[in-house]
Structure 1
Amino acid sequence: MHYQSVRNSRRYSLHSSHIEAISFFLCQAISSTEQNAIAKMSSDDYDQYESTFMRKAKENPFVPVGMAGFLAIVGYRLLKMKNRGEVKMSVHLIHMRVAAQGFVVGAMTIGVLYSMYKDYIVKPREEQKALTHK
């Protein structure tokens, strides 16, 4: 009985170290892939991409807020991973995912409410004012 628990604990410790290594290399691969893609883009492509992003950000201002919040939460929780104490790796990762998803869903909800406010309250008022002034 005791031998089985020792064997399982060794397996878990190897598994958690593998997860940390995989997450580190995955982050490195993503960042190097992004850098290669940006380096290959010409200045016209970059300007077109930037203008598309800025246009989308102006249409839906909560999308960049959601993206920034997601990255901030994930970055903070990854830095905090070393000092997690007795909390299992899987529980820590689940908490990180729930916090990041919650922020993104909240930003999307606020964005939808804001666009509904603009479309159904502000726009009809402006149209009504335009009709009364004519």
Structure 2
Amino acid sequence: MTVSFSNPRTMPRRAGYSQICEVTAGKLVLIAGQVPHDVNDKLVGEGDFAAQVEQVFRNLAAALEAAGGSFRNLVKINNYCVASVTQEQRTAFQKVRDRYVDTASPPVSTFIFVSRLAQPGWLFEMDAMAVIDG
């Protein structure tokens, strides 16, 4: 295996992501920030955090497929969410994420609240890294 995920006993155990990802071989794929726009560049889910998260994951799926991979190749995600989204609304992220990623060996992850994103109406953005066997 070229990628292994771990959660050492010497580190906090958090649900939903791994603490460490080790890559020993493969093609590294860096995916730009994915936003809640569809293939026609139309905003999806204006004011609806869950709908925007779903669209971002759809866009990420398309990017992974275009690079020759899938969600099983995902090793790192960085999530950016506007500060107006509540903790209760954020649970939508976890539900959507868990439908797409391997919850037994989830990618390493960072979740950041920001004052705003680049475009008005965006509530969520995600960039990612994948390793695809070459």
TM, length-normalised to structure 1:
0.22
Highest RCO, 1 vs 2 (Cα 8 Å, sep ≥ 6): 2
| Structure with the larger strand share | 2
| Structure with the larger helix share | 1
